[in-house]
Amino acid sequence: MTATAPTNRRRWLRFSVRTILVLMVVMAMSLAWKVNRARAQRKAVEALRNAGVDVVYDYEDSASANGQVAVPPVPAVWVDLFGIDYFADVYGVYFLNSLEGPAHFRDESTGFPEHVFDDIQMLPTVSSVIISEATDDELDKLSHAASIDTLIVSGNFTDAGVAHLSRLERLKHLYIMSPNMSVDGLCQLRRCTRLEQLIANGGTDMSEYNLCRLRDSLPNCSVSYGPRPLTHPIDTQ
């Protein structure tokens, strides 16, 4: 019995040290993932804001929805020390600098800066996007932001642009405006299996008959037709 007790104690100690080392490795990996994600988010947010894009964090959206003043989820001293990106995720990206028109950084000949769409892809938590004056090519780039579930989009894009949007697998709410899209183009949205609400405005063949065809193509989605102004959710909730 005397010899067995020290042996068991040494085995327990070996097991404890091994467990502690494993836990330390897991914690270090988790911390590294968090740091890298926060740094990537901060870099993308800075680039978007420098380009004139409005970026909204999740706590800001929640506060706006409840009619409250947005307050960071941690003490201000922590935000000052580490930055908000360690404690909050980006919720919305809005290509508008006012309720009246598109953001000032858009060049009429070349469109939005190339990097802004790459920056959005670096934000895996983006849920809501508003973009005006969009083209087919820009919707193609935007469609790679897989986390989008709410989208307000206007422009002179065609059915090709609508086809790009059909790649947004998480899309639930879509408000889409273009004079060049058609019902056949909108029917491509049946690939968005989670789509719950579609409001369309403009288009070339939006007769009641064709709208019925569209509703038949999207049986699990509420489909309506009519004007909906491009507004900023933070300002209107």
Considering only CA atoms, which of 113, 140, 100, 110 is closest in space to residue 53?
113
Alpha helix ranges (H) inside the chain:
4-50, 58-65, 76-82, 114-121, 136-142, 159-165, 183-186, 208-217, 233-236
Distance CA(157)–CA(134), nearest Å, equals: 6
- Give dist(CA 153, CA 141) in Å, integer: 13
What's the length of the chain? 237
The pair of structure tokens assigned to 10 is 């040494």
Q: Which two tokens stand for residue 190?
A: 């049946």
Supply the pLDDT for residue 102: 43
- The answer to whether residues 80 and 87 touch, using CB atoms and an 8 Å cutoff, is no
Give strand pairing partners of 223: 198
Q: What is the pLDDT of residue 117?
A: 92
Q: Tell me the C-alpha to C-alpha distance, in Å, between residue 149 and each of 13, 43, 89, 100, 192.
A: 51, 23, 15, 24, 10
Q: How confident is the model at residue 132, as a pLDDT? A: 87
Q: Are 197 and 220 in contact (CB under 8 A)?
A: no
Single-letter residue type at 201: N
What would the two tokens of residue 222 be?
């509420």
Look up the CATH number of domain 32-236: 3.80.10
Distance CA 29, CA 57 (A): 25
Please, which residues have CB within 8 angstroms of residue 160's CB and are 6 or more apart in sequence? 136, 185
pTM: 0.78
Q: Is the dihedral of CA 124, 48, 89, 126 positive or negative?
A: negative
Could you list the pLDDT tens digit for every one of the 237 residues in the chain?
A: 455 556 555 555 555 766 777 677 777 777 676 778 889 999 999 999 988 889 999 999 888 888 888 898 889 999 999 999 999 999 999 987 444 444 456 666 566 778 899 999 999 999 999 998 899 999 999 999 999 999 999 999 999 999 999 999 999 999 999 999 999 999 999 999 999 999 998 877 777 888 888 889 999 999 988 765 444 443 444
The pLDDT of residue 26: 72
Q: What is the pLDDT of residue 226?
A: 75
Res 123: pLDDT = 94
Token pair listed for 235 = 């300002």
DSSP letter at 147 equals T
Domain ranges within the chain, ordered by starting residue: 32-236
